[in-house]
Amino acid sequence: MFRPQALVKLLTPGIGVKRWLALLLVGILMVSAGLSYMTLALMGIHPITGLPAVGEWLLIIVAVAFGLDIVVLAVVRLSRSILAPYRRHQQGRVIDVVYAHSRRQKGLKAVVIGGGTGLPSVLRGLKQYTSNITAVVTVADDGGSSGRLRRELGVLPPGDLRNNIAALADDESLMTRLFQHRFNIGGELGGHAFGNLFISALAGVTGSIETALIETERVLNIQGRVLPATLEDVNLSALIRLPSSNRLVTVHGESVITETGGQIEALQLTPPNVQAYEESVRAILEADLVIIGPGSLFTSILPNLLVRGIAEALRATGAYRIYICNVATQPGETDGFTVADHVLAIERHVGRGIFQAVLANNTYPTENAGTNTHYVRPAPAHHEILQRYEARYTDLIDPERPWRHDPQKLIKAIWQLNEQERFGSNAAVSAIEEV
């Protein structure tokens, strides 16, 4: 349908479109005229009399060549003017941006499951190679800014959702930095992250967290999407053995579990039969690669796997599934745990068959580690889990923060495992060199 308002906007001076459209038209006319004159000359018809044959053909070549130059110039300049508003957050030449975008769009379908600070490290590395990323995130958090918003507004805790949306966005973007900004002031806003408030407010305006996440992802122009494991209001409960008395106590609330200071014997959701978000289940079933972790074992990983439908989807999917073990143990949660202890804890809660491979760190630097970093050690030789899973150990350490994964090392190791599974060891070597 013709819209006069659109034509008026197009003819507005200074938008950098009209001049290049006009030049494009001139170039097309020159090329057309040259080709028409060539056709007539070949037929023995000479519209311009008295012009020597050499001069005639020289005129034709000049007209066509000059017209093509004008067309190319006009198309390039017009493309820049039109694409400029859509690539204002993209750095580099247009062709490089387009190439990178095309490569990511064709990338494999990857699902990453977890929460906390571990999951973003995977997403930051993964988004460079594919845009087909789905992060499935726990929504059992009841502490900090997320817990306050959850109690006061009745929304799903937005903290983990926010962190993973930011990880899939442009790290240098002003909007991303604004999204992660935390108010370090007193009063009602103290401790809140702007992104938490934004998502909560948008959920109230749109009427659903699903729509709020879609709109948030659009604002930040992220590579992929972030989904909650469930849309239901869910909390964590843990059975903890106290070290002082060896007595078992039941603790309610994710934020309280790690503060209790005992050994976690069992974890459950309250209510226990919450259903998985159908989009999260669909993403797992359609994935080529599923990555579980890294993240806090009892407060980020298991809260996702305990949601009814998530573990079932993991067993049913045709994707290659990798569990990434944490680099360091976490006080009050996995004190003294080895890689084997992490895997056995998952098996106790959701059974076997959730993943096929285990990826873990085997480098334990002392520089920058401090006194509170206790590394997760490998599974003992001939341990039973080594019969059920492929265990891959490699250097995954961030030298500046050795208690965390380095995103680039992590994605290379993941890519190598995945390519080895799909194509064999030789392809895996090529894949790791390319990454």
* Residue 246 pLDDT: 85
At residue 193, does pLDDT exceed 50?
Answer: yes
Handedness of CA 160, 164, 165, 171 (dihedral sign): positive
Q: Evaluate if residue 103 carries a pLDDT over 90.
A: no
Residues 6+ apart with CB under 8 A from 96: none
Average pLDDT over the chain reads 85
pLDDT at 348: 96
Q: Are 21 and 78 in contact (CB under 8 A)?
A: yes
Per-domain residue ranges of the chain: 19-82, 101-237+268-434, 238-267
Residue with tokens 């334990």: 364
* Confidence at residue 152, expressed as pLDDT on a 0 to 100 scale: 86
For 375-395, the pLDDT digits (tens) are 999 999 999 999 999 999 999
Give the model confidence (pLDDT) of 5-27 as tens digits.
655 655 566 656 777 788 888 88
Q: Is the pLDDT of residue 359 over 70?
A: yes
Q: Which of 61-75, 91-105, 263-277, 416-430 has the lowest mean pLDDT?
A: 91-105
How much of the chain, in percent, has pLDDT values that exceed 90? Answer: 48
pLDDT at 35 over 60: yes
Q: Indicate whether 420 pLDDT > 70.
A: yes
Output the pLDDT for position 308: 96
* Most confident region among 34-48, 174-188, 233-247 by mean pLDDT: 233-247
Candidates 199, 127, 215, 209; CA nearest to 162 is: 199
Helix/strand/coil (H, E, C) string of 193-206?
EHHHHHHHHHHHHH
86 pLDDT band, cuts 50/70/90, is low
Q: pLDDT tens for residues 230-251?
A: 999 999 999 999 888 889 999 9
The CATH number for 101-237+268-434, chosen from 1.10.10.10, 3.40.50.10680, 1.10.630.10, 3.30.70.930, is: 3.40.50.10680
Q: What is residue 50's predicted lDDT score, i.e. its pLDDT? A: 60
Question: Per-residue confidence at 130, pLDDT binned at 50, 70, 90?
Answer: confident
- Among 18, 22, 24, 29, which residue's Cα sits nearest to residue 76? 24
417 against 62, higher pLDDT: 417
* Range name among 85-94, 266-275, 321-330, 344-353 with the lowest pLDDT average: 85-94
* Amino acid letter, 316: A
Element (H or E) spanning 265, and its range?
Answer: strand 263-270
Percent of the chain whose pLDDT exceeds 70: 85
pLDDT value at residue 249: 92
The answer to whether 297 and 320 are in contact (CB under 8 A) is no
Query: Mind listing the pLDDT tens digit for each residue in 287-307?
Result: 999 999 999 999 999 999 999
User: Given a cut of 70, is residue 217 above it in pLDDT?
Assistant: yes
Instruction: Tell me how far apart the alpha carbons of residues 356 and 345 are, in angstroms, rounded to a whole number.
Output: 16
pLDDT band at 83 (very low <50, low <70, confident <90, very high): low
Task: Estimate the share of the chain in helix, then strand, then coil, as percent rounded to the nearest 5.
Answer: 50, 15, 35
Predicted confidence (pLDDT) at residue 356 exceeds the cutoff of 80: yes
Answer yes or no: are the C-beta atoms of 396 and 363 closer than 8 Å.
Answer: yes
pTM: 0.76
Which token pair is 417?
Answer: 């495992």
Question: Residue 318 pLDDT > 50, yes or no?
Answer: yes
